[in-house]
Amino acid sequence: MKIRGSQTKRWVISIVAGAVASTLAIAPSQAIPVRSEVGVSATEIVLGMQLPQTGPASPGYNKIDDAMRAYFDFVNSKGGVNGRKIKLVVKDDTYKAGLTISTASTLINKDKVFAMVGSVGTQTHISIIKDINRRGIPDLFVNSGYSGFYIDPKKYPTSFAALGTYVVESKIEAEYLKANYAKELAAGKVGVLYQTDDFGRNVLAGFKQQGVTFPPANTQKFVAGSQALGLTRQVQALQAAGVTLVVIAAVANATAITIGTAAKLGFAPKWLVTSVGSDATTFKTILASQGTSGAVASALLTGVISASHAPSPGEDTDEFVIAFKKINDDFNVGPDKTWDNNVLQGMNIGYLTTAALQGAGKDLTRKGLIAFMEGKGATLSSAALSPLSYSSKTHEAYNSFWIGAYDANSVLKPIGGTRVLYTTDSAAGPITVSTYKRPAIAADALPKVG
């Protein structure tokens, strides 16, 4: 009875306050009711994030938080969301789950965050996902394609993805291979190099789902993190097996090592790189600092096939890319703000977060935010060319990918000139062509929800 009473009261207050706020639009911040939700005040929303900012797993990913913060600062400069400024508290877990658990406790108990947003890493996030969910803390836009987090919302009701799952992407890539490289597949000329973790295994599972398997001689692997020992042996084995197309399921630096090593060995197969490892900036930075000239690095990347749910960061006519790039130039204060996939991804999460907070309304609660994500999250748009698939049945994000190849300017371009989006799920569902059209970005580069 007590609870119901307070809810009613809250409801009345918010209606009254809403009315007052709309009439007194000059001073909205004072009119917003003082609420008791953790991490939300009349003037501020505190969000938490964890990622490897230092350590072996940090390169590249450590730019995502700076991009997100840049977008939030941009939003704040425009008055915030419903008068509340967004504050992002970031914790470095060095990609070690033992530390992730500690930093999560800091974010939850000390910084009293309202929600977690954009956290990076599968192995690390898995160590806290149960606890976050048990506490009912929204766990938005997790930067991991591990489908186990999202496909059973009863298990993890508050966790929502920021990426398409590894399985969705690799199913679509497998289908592309079947359509365009049937001869090579039949002749056993297609090989794979994968890292032996959830990511690598999920990619293999996605290919298998579509009936694409790799002969043992064409299957090479490495322990994630041990690429420092070199991948020469693996690449030589693929070369010796005579494959003409190699699928790479590895992080960006290992992908760069693989393609660079193959070049040294005089091995020039067609490459298909999954989106995780397909980052032109990382690729060219590593090769350039190895003394490979920009022209040679570009030549190596040219023709590499990859998939994406978003525009390529190099597509400088894309309206989202233009807007995000400008915000990055104006607001990013991180140590390295070079425009690339990671920055685009961070900006996009910032944009989606802002949209979700708008959608959850002035009376911002954790429950309300999750209800909005499940009910209307699929209607949100972003820089991505794929629709979102959030519902009460799944918390996966992007279900569509387009297949492209890098051109001479290191921009991923649709193969054949026209961009075709393919849609599927993380299970046994069919692959279909999507007709989704991305809504345009507003002139002020802010989402418009609610």
Partner 1 sequence: MNTFISTLITGTANGAIFALAALGLVIVWRGAGVVNFAQMGQAMFTTYIASNLIASGNSYWLAFIVALISGSLLGMIIDLLIMRPLAHKKSSSATKTLAGTIPVIASLGILAILQALAGIFWAGEERGFPTPVNSFYFKNGDGTLPFSAFNLFVIGVVLIVLLSLTYFFTQTGAGLGMRAAALNPEVARLSGIKVSRMRTLSWAISGAAGSLAGLLITPSTNLSPNTLDLILIIAFTAAVVGGLDSPLGAVIGGLILGIGIALVTTYGSPENVFLAILFVLLAVQLIRPNGILGGKQVRRG
Partner 2 sequence: MDKYKNIWRKNLIKTLTLGVFLFLLSFTFEPYNQGQLALVLMLFIGVLSLTVLTGASGQISLGQGALMAVGGYSSASLITHLGASIWIGFLVAFFATAIFGLILGTAAARVSGPYLAGTTLVIALALPSVANRFESVLGGDVGLIVDFGTPPTWISNLIEVGYEQWQLWVVLPVALTALFFISNLMATRAGRSWQAVRDDEIGAAVSGIPVARTKVIVFVVSSAIAGLGGALYGLRGLVGPSVYPVSLSLTLLTAAILGGVGSISGAFIGTLIVVFLPDLIDWAISGLAVSEQLSNYLPALLTGFLLLATIIINPAGVMGAGHRKKH
Q: Does 293 bind partner 1 (CB under 8 A)?
A: no
CA contacts within 13 A on the Cβ side of 309: 27
Radius of gyration, CA atoms only, the chain: 22
Distances (CA, A) of 45 to 251, 306, 328, 334, 374: 33, 37, 22, 21, 21
Residue placing its CB nearer to partner 1 in the complex, 279 or 363: 279
Stretch that binds partner 2, among 130-138, 172-180, 185-193, 204-212 (CB under 8 A): 130-138
Of 14, 29, 41, 58, which lies in the binding site for partner 1, with binding defined by CB under 8 A?
58
Stretch that binds partner 2, among 71-79, 197-205, 337-345, 355-363 (CB under 8 A): 197-205
Q: Does 228 bind partner 2 (CB under 8 A)?
A: no
If contact means CB under 5 to 8 A according to the sort of partner, which of partner 2, partner 1, none does residue 197 touch? partner 2
Q: Does 127 bind partner 2 (CB under 8 A)?
A: yes
CB of 14 to partner 1, least distance (A): 46
Residue 222 backbone dihedrals phi, psi, to 5 degrees: -150, 155
Q: Does 216 bind partner 1 (CB under 8 A)?
A: no
Of 19, 24, 182, 223, which lies in the binding site for partner 2, with binding defined by CB under 8 A?
223
* DSSP state, residue 289: H
The C-alpha angle 175, 206, 308, rounded to 5 degrees, equals 65
Pairwise CA distance, residues 200 & 222, whole Å: 10
Q: List, in sequence order, every beta strand (DSSP E) within 80-189.
A: 85-92, 115-117, 139-142, 159-161
Q: Does 335 bind partner 1 (CB under 8 A)?
A: yes
> Are the C-beta atoms of residues 319 and 46 closer than 8 Å to each other?
no
Closest CA to 150 of 103, 202, 192, 113: 202
Pairwise CA distance, residues 359 & 361, whole Å: 5
Residue placing its CB nearer to partner 2 in the complex, 122 or 423: 122
Q: Which residues bind partner 1 (CB under 8 A)?
A: 53-56, 58-60, 62, 196, 221-223, 226-230, 232-234, 236-237, 239-240, 253, 256-257, 260-261, 263-266, 282, 285-292, 335-336
Q: Which residues bind partner 2 (CB under 8 A)?
A: 53-54, 66, 92, 94-98, 101-102, 105-106, 109-110, 122-124, 126-128, 130-131, 134-135, 146, 148, 196-198, 201, 223-224, 334-335
